[in-house]
Amino acid sequence: MIAKKFSLPVFRGSQVKRRRRGRWLGLVCWVACLIMMGHPGTIPAVAQTPETAPIEVDGITLFQVSSSEEFPAEQRAAAVNKRLEDVIKAAATATVTTDTSQGLPVLKVDTGTDQEDLYLLTVNRRDALGRPPQATAVGWQNKLQKAINRGKAERANIWRLVLISAACLLLAVALHGALTWFWRKRLPKLLPPATVDPTTGQQPQSLQFLLKVILFLLRTALWLTAISYIGGLLPWTRIWLNRLLTALRQTFATQFIPAGDNSYSVLDVALLLILLAGVMNLAKTVQHLLRTRVLRATGLNRGAQEAVAFVANYVLLFIGTLVLLQLWGFDLSSLTVFASVLGVGVGLGLQGFAKNFISGMVLIFEQPIKVGDFVQVGDYEGTVERINVRSTEIRTLNRISVIVPNSEFLESSVVNWDHGTSISRLQVPIGVAYGSNPGKVREALMDAATDYSGVLNEPPPRVFFTEFGDSSLNFVLHVWIEEAAKQFSIKSDLNFRIETILRHRKIEIPFPQRDLHVRSGQLPLELPEELTESLTQLSQSLQMWLQQSAPTELPSQFDSDSNALSSAEPGEDHEH
């Protein structure tokens, strides 16, 4: 049901059409690659040793010649290659013949003119490699004749080959665009619903990365095949491409990295690293699918699911690495030195990493904390989201991820609200004014906790009269909750309910009161003489200023009031 909810709405008919189009597009790509790889202009790989040198025609290696008694192999090959180049450039026809009159077969070129046949080379016993020289000469004669005919035909139809190269380039661009469109627009809809994460509605990041890598490899293979085919059409491009491939082969394919009894090249190491990265990504994808699709249906709690997925990920990674190294021909016994060095590093420089790694193993298998538990570590409170090899991720109530080393959970005090059971007790203190009826207060607090969704009915809520405070009668409401992560919101809701019920029932919540008593008396105060004289002068100056600024005549109303006050008898009340 979850997969259907998050899967893309695709009709059955359109889905079948998309699958058919994808199959036809894949078939066209494979046929195009096969045609390009099977073209006669493709450069074959011919083994070469230090004692031999290649005979080449327009960048295509035909065979290898060995050194003779008079000339080394490189000098023989250079002379033959130069004569073949002159023969191909000449307009006259050329026929390769074999002369056996001298005992050893001699390869010559008949140009069809009155001139003497052009000498190419003599096939000796070193060239034959244990075979009869005559049989080797016949095979070389056929190869040379085909190469000369092909070279002349290519130079005669050079413009047709240029047009074919341009058409192949346009075809490669079209296939590149079609492959990109299919991979980004159609392939996500053709994937099964099980590959969709129900929480986000998308494929996991590991699967998306794997698909991007596969797309990159397909594009690379497409363009390498196109460049190889186009470069093999024209003789000049084929020569430069052959030189480039020879230089790259000598640079990256030369085995100079020793490992045990074998040696490896830079290309071997790079390919091994790419395969290891693919194994890691594949293990991560299997872990995600196992967590979201398989373990969720088993009914296990979230912590057990994470533990099983974690162990499965590293078991697959370990087994896949061993199998890959064995298939690669790597001698695992050579890792003993590395293991000893690693042991010394763990004992000296990697103590912290080793401690956190072992702590992570203890947390996974012993499970004092599990994924989904609400814990308090130091100043942080939050839910455990992920337990890794080195650290644990905690998501706080502020939606902030805190990375805590695994050793902190074993070396310091940790409060786990969900350990064993997720039920925990919550305390809500409240104070009421003196003179309030404690029974009514208890009834009000029980009513506030009753019928609230965040509070459990079993165990039931309880109210305790704790003490007679300075300004209030103090009570504590004890309730039991099941979700510790919501304790702050539950406590806030209970406080709102308590305040509303106490206000409606005329139960006063007091504020702190203090009585201040002031005792009368004289306070002895001695001042310096200079300060006393200054204050006296200031007081006299102020009195004189007030007398000068006072009005000379008072208002009539003020005079009548003054006379009334003076004529009033003592004890009489007057209203003004």
Q: What is the pLDDT of residues 163-192, one digit of tens each?
A: 988 999 999 999 999 999 998 888 877 877
- The pLDDT assigned to 19 comes to 45
Question: How far, in Å, CA of 483 to CA of 499, rounded?
Answer: 24
Question: Quick check: 3 pLDDT over 50?
Answer: no
How many of the other CB atoms lie within 10 Å of CB of 404? 19
- Residues above pLDDT 90, as percent of the chain: 8
Class of domain 424-504: alpha beta
- Using left for φ > 0, alpha for ψ between -120 and 50, and beta otherwise, residue 426 falls in beta
Is CATH 3.90.1150.10 correct for 367-416?
no
Q: Check the CA dihedral 518-520-526-531 and report its sign.
A: positive
How many of the other CB atoms lie within 10 Å of CB of 131? 11
- The pLDDT assigned to 465 comes to 92
Banded model confidence at residue 300, pLDDT cuts 50, 70, 90: low
Question: How far, in Å, CA of 355 to CA of 73, rounded?
Answer: 63
DSSP 412-442: S-EEETTSS-S-EEEEEEEEE-TT--HHHHH
- As a whole number, mean pLDDT of residues 131-159 equals 85
Question: Quick check: 124 pLDDT over 50?
Answer: yes
Question: How far, in Å, CA of 157 to CA of 151, rounded?
Answer: 10
**pLDDT greater at residue 62 or residue 571:** 62
- The pLDDT assigned to 386 comes to 83
DSSP lists the bridge partners of residue 258 as 263
- The pLDDT assigned to 350 comes to 64
How many of the other CB atoms lie within 10 Å of CB of 358? 14
- As a whole number, mean pLDDT of residues 106-114 equals 79
- The pLDDT assigned to 303 comes to 65
- The pLDDT assigned to 173 comes to 93
Q: What is the pTM of this model?
A: 0.40
Lowest mean pLDDT among 12-16, 102-106, 140-144, 190-194: 12-16
Q: Check the CA dihedral 241-247-251-254 and report its sign.
A: positive
121 and 67 Cβ atoms separated by less than 8 Å: no
- Domain extents in the chain: 52-156, 367-416, 424-504
Angle at 43 (CA atoms; ends 42, 45), nearest 5 degrees: 130
- The pLDDT assigned to 375 comes to 87
Question: How far, in Å, CA of 220 to CA of 201, rounded?
Answer: 30
Q: What is the pLDDT of residues 6-64, one digit of tens each?
A: 333 333 344 444 444 444 444 444 434 433 443 333 334 444 445 788 888 888 888 88
Question: Quick check: 245 pLDDT over 50?
Answer: yes
229 and 168 Cβ atoms separated by less than 8 Å: yes
Question: How far, in Å, CA of 155 to CA of 356, rounded?
Answer: 70
Six-digit token pair at 214? 């596969």
229 and 41 Cβ atoms separated by less than 8 Å: yes
Q: What is the pLDDT of residues 31-40, one digit of tens each?
A: 344 334 433 3
307 and 298 Cβ atoms separated by less than 8 Å: no
Q: By three-state DSSP, how is residue 468 classified? A: strand
Q: What is the pLDDT of residues 465-524, one digit of tens each?
A: 999 988 889 999 999 888 888 888 888 999 999 999 999 988 888 877 666 666 655 555
Q: Which residues contact 117 (CB under 8 A, 6 or more apart)?
A: 97, 99, 108, 109, 110, 111
Q: Check the CA dihedral 451-456-457-463 and report its sign.
A: negative
Six-digit token pair at 22? 């994808």
Q: What is the pLDDT of residues 360-393, one digit of tens each?
A: 778 877 778 888 888 888 888 888 888 877 788 8
Question: Quick check: 567 pLDDT over 50?
Answer: no
Q: Which residues contact 127 (CB under 8 A, 6 or more apart)?
A: 65, 66, 133, 136
Q: What is the CA radius of gyration of the chain?
A: 48
Q: What is the pLDDT of residues 335-356, one digit of tens each?
A: 666 667 666 766 666 677 777 7
Which residue, 428, 467, 431, is CA-closest to 449? 428
**pLDDT greater at residue 560 or residue 129:** 129
- Residues above pLDDT 70, as percent of the chain: 76
- The pLDDT assigned to 170 comes to 93
- The pLDDT assigned to 339 comes to 67
